[in-house]
Structure 1
Amino acid sequence: MDQYTIQHSPILMNKSAEIVSRQAGHPSPPLGIVAIVFAVLFNAGLYQVITFSGKAHFPGPWESADTITGYFQAHASEVLVCAFLQFGAAIALGIYTATVVSRLQYLGVRAAGASIALFGGLMTVFSMATASLVLWVMAYPGIAHDVAVLRALYYFSFALGGPGFSVPLGLLIAGVCVPAAFMRLLPKWLVIFGLALAVIGELSWLDLITPKALLLIPLTRFPGFIWLIAAGFLLPKAIKHATTPVRS
């Protein structure tokens, strides 16, 4: 195929432009930095309600109604700050999700994995945002004194922030890992780590029927922060090698 044919063929010209564009780099927010912002905001919010010094801390679902209502009545300001920061974390995760899916598509992923990642990421974001807004309601003056309403809101918030977070996060991670493995976009160790987290995340679904599965939620959440940050920095922004042109 001669140079004249290439220059005057719209299909070949478009293909050539696409290859050059992909080599130039994906125009997007820095994924690794966005993941760090997400992790920092989330954990800063968690810091407001968690303590390791034996003082009052955010109650677990196994605790008594008096303990749950007593905490929210006495610590409304800490819960309010937690809700504020974690709502911000949800926004950061939404930006990460949109960017990582766009990056996969830019790098040539046409498989269902990118769409699964988008679904999982957005579901995690919606769960987080809703849970944080419910926490804000619980911290609102007067709500904590209505025991029945508070307990209903508490368990709803816990479900959203528990399996409602870990299960779809596993889908986000798996949706990135599988196509990245086939196209060698991420290191093998990070793919294996991600797939293990995805399995744990999906198994955390069992928490809805057995309290013994509760540990699977933090086992997905906190290592998941590390995976998201690592993937954000290691996922390439551009195709390293141009596709070999078709010759006739």
Structure 2
Amino acid sequence: MNDIQPISRRRSGGPPLGILAIVHAGLFLLALIVGFVLSGAGVFLSPFAGADAVAAHAHADGAAIRVGAMLQFGSAVPLGIYAATAFARLQRLGVRVPGPVIGFTGGLTASIMLMVSAFGSYLLSRPELTSDPRLALAFSFLAFVAGGVGYVVGLGLLIAGMAVPGVILGLLPRWLAWAGLVVAALSELSFLSLAVEPLQFLLPIGRFAGMAWLIAAGFLLPVDRRDVRDRGRTPEEVRS
């Protein structure tokens, strides 16, 4: 019994990060798929299409927008849990620099922004609120900005908070840690799209590349320091 308890404590690193990232990405992608199935490509109408087009879209595809908002809100929850678990994991690994705090702040921001975006979409789906095209356009821009720049910038901070210790302390494979730094940098630069609209192409790069990175890092980030020491050693060396 005494031999089992230390192992149990050593492996209790919270919810599996990789699974949380998969659930987050899966729910978000499901929101896109359901919207496309219910209403076609038109369900993703940009607010830049104008107030009248947005209002007409809201009245025609309200149900699809509402279901997508529900799934998007749901995807924000595992992201917040991921950020908190990654913060605790890095602390457990002995990372005592601002990186984990920055990452947690970014992950929490991304989760909240995703929720705000979902609320904006939900309000857009309510016909009693969008009879005024200008109000419909305001809800559409809220959903777009919060779920675009707000989410991606926060996600970039989460990735950076994990990738920097991953490079410096060897907590992640070097290729993955450096890829994370690139994704994080592109995600942070996406804030420029608020004033320079052609840079909006950075938003889907930061979003989908960021989701993929969180999944990979979630499965490869060690649980405790022993895993870091054992990395790169042969099985015989580990047993000895």
Question: Shared fold (TM-score greater than 0.5)?
Answer: yes
Are positions 1:94 and 2:60 aligned together?
no
Q: How many residues align?
A: 223
Which residue pairs with 1:192 in the alignment? 178
Contact 1:23/1:242 (<8 A) preserved:
no
Report the Cα offset of residue 21 of structure 1.
Answer: 7.6
Distance 1:187 1:23, change over 3 A: farther
* Structure that is richer in helix per residue: 2
Superposed, 1:81-120 pairs within 5 Å as 81-120=67-106
User: Which of 92, 114, 129 pairs up with 1:143?
Assistant: 129
Report the Cα offset of residue 55 of structure 1.
Answer: 4.7
Calculate the aligned-residue CA RMSD, in Å.
2.1
Contact 2:103/2:159 (<8 A) preserved:
yes
Superposed, 1:1-248 pairs within 5 Å as 24-50=10-36, 55-240=41-226
The residue identity in structure 2 corresponding to 1:61 is P
CA distance in 2, matches of 1:239, 1:159: 40
TM-score (norm 1): 0.84
CA distance in 2, matches of 1:21, 1:106: 15
CA distance in 1, matches of 2:8, 2:228: 9
Q: Which has the larger radius of gyration?
A: 1
CA distance in 2, matches of 1:106, 1:21: 15
CA distance in 2, matches of 1:90, 1:162: 13
3-state SS of 1:62 partner: helix
3-state SS of 2:152 partner: helix
Distance 1:50 1:211, change over 3 A: farther
Contact 1:127/1:161 (<8 A) preserved:
yes
CA distance in 2, matches of 1:216, 1:129: 21
3-state SS of 2:49 partner: coil
The Cα offsets for residues 151-173 of structure 1, whole Å up to 9 and x where unpaired, read as 11111121101111111111110
TM-score (norm 2): 0.87
Report the Cα offset of residue 114 of structure 1.
Answer: 0.4
Report the Cα offset of residue 145 of structure 1.
Answer: 1.8
3-state SS of 2:43 partner: coil
The Cα offsets for residues 9-45 of structure 1, whole Å up to 9 and x where unpaired, read as xxxxxxxxxxx68982343111111110000001111
Unaligned runs of 5+ in 2: 1-5, 230-240
